[in-house]
Structure 1
């Protein structure tokens, strides 16, 4: 669904992963869809929701292998726009 959406709109992107860690020690791996420009990223977010991630700000001062230090309480992401986590995979 994501590939088709981007292809139809000519949005060039690549996918990366980042480990997100909350203050209580809970962690998850997030899939990031990275775009060359803010306009493409905004088009994607308007359709799929999601969170903005700035590697220079969010990944331990821009470290390539740094983690995403989250703040606040952990809450699982179960739905993002038209995407949802299948019931069997929810913990």
Structure 2
């Protein structure tokens, strides 16, 4: 689905993984789609749910191997667009 979206707009994002960690020590691995310009990233975000990630701000002072220190309370993502966690796997 996101491949068709990107190919149709001639976007070629790089994909990266980052570990997101909350203050209560909960964590998840997140897939990032990295675009060369803000407008492309915003077009992707307008079409798919998610959030903006700034590696210089969000990844331990820009450390390439750093984690994403999240703030607030951890809330598990159970539904994301057409994908969802089956009921049997939910808490």
State the TM-score, normalized to the length of structure 2.
0.90
Q: Distance in 1 between matches of 2:89 and 2:4?
A: 24
Please, which runs of 5 or more residues in structure 1 have no aligned partner? none
C-alpha contact (below 8 Å) 2:17/2:31 kept by paired residues: yes
1:38/1:89 Cα in 2 relative to 1: closer, same or farther (>3 Å)?
farther
Q: Distance in 2 between matches of 1:77 and 1:89?
A: 12
| Aligned CA-pair RMSD | 1.4
Report matched runs for 1:14-53 at 5 Å: 14-53=14-53
Q: Distance in 1 between matches of 2:78 and 2:25?
A: 20
Kindly tell me the number of residue pairs found equivalent between the two proteins: 90
Structure 1 SS opposite 2:17: strand
Structure 1 stretches of at least 4 aligned residues deviating more than 3 Å after TM superposition: 88-91
State the TM-score, normalized to the length of structure 1.
0.90
C-alpha contact (below 8 Å) 1:48/1:83 kept by paired residues: no
1:16/1:90 Cα in 2 relative to 1: closer, same or farther (>3 Å)?
farther
1:14/1:90 Cα in 2 relative to 1: closer, same or farther (>3 Å)?
farther
